[in-house]
Every structure is written in C-alpha cells, then in structure tokens.
Amino acid sequence: MPDLNALKYTADHEWLEIDGDVVTVGITDYAADQLGDLVFVDLPQVGASVQPGAVVSEVESTKSVGEVSTPIAGEVIERNDAIIENPELVNADAFAGWLFKLRIDPAALDATSLLSRDEYTEQIGQ
C-alpha cells in the first residue's frame, strides 16, 4: 500500500500517485465503502488519450454506478486487468486496487487542482 499522505486526491474521491511523468489512479477507500461491493469495473484502453474531467472508467456495485475521471490530461499506459476479473479487490484495499496509469506532462500538474490527504479527509468529514 502506498503512503497515503504522499498521494494526491480529487474532490471526486480519486487518489493519484505521482511519480515523475507517470500517474497511477484509483478510487479512495471512502468511495469504495460508499459504493458497496464492486461487481463490475470498466477501464480505459491502453493507448487512449484522456482529457481532464472526462469520464474514463466506471465502477459499479450492486446498487450504484461510480464514474472515474482524471483531473489531468495524459495517455493511458497501463491498466489493472486483475480488477476486471475481481472487482472486489478494490473493496479489499482501494489503495492497492489501482485502476490505470497515465503518462502526463509534469508541468501541467501546477495548474491542476489536487487535494492533500488532510484536505481530502476534511472534505469527507473523517
């Protein structure tokens, strides 16, 4: 599991691990708990270009559908096919159950609105 304080977060309950020009994206444990048991995950194709705010992935529980967008533009360079087979891996550990990795332009990060761990936990009231 990554160091949660070293991750960045979005107000839409995504977490981002930023390593140079590679960003790993997942949903937070709070989001996974709110959705309930995931039964279906749709991930973007490797090679796809994604734009900020666009819905690029969907996570469905028995009860509802969650949409995952990225706050930053990039190219999908890897996706976590293990969770397509076993969506419950996200419920088991949302920070290990990443969804996809993007190659980004690190310079674009400066203009991207991201939350620290403290800011995110304050937002969800925990």
**What residues line the site for other proteins (CB under 8 A)?**
33-34, 36-37, 39-40, 42, 58, 60-65, 91
Nearer to other proteins, 91 or 112 (CB): 91
Nearer to other proteins, 71 or 87 (CB): 87
| Count of Cβ atoms closer than 10 Å to residue 33 Cβ | 10
Name the CA dihedral angle for 65, 72, 74, 105, rounded to a multiple of 10 degrees: -160
As measured in angstroms, the least distance from the Cβ of 62 to other proteins is: 5
Nearer to other proteins, 17 or 42 (CB): 42
| Count of Cβ atoms closer than 10 Å to residue 42 Cβ | 15
Helix, coil or strand: residue 102? strand
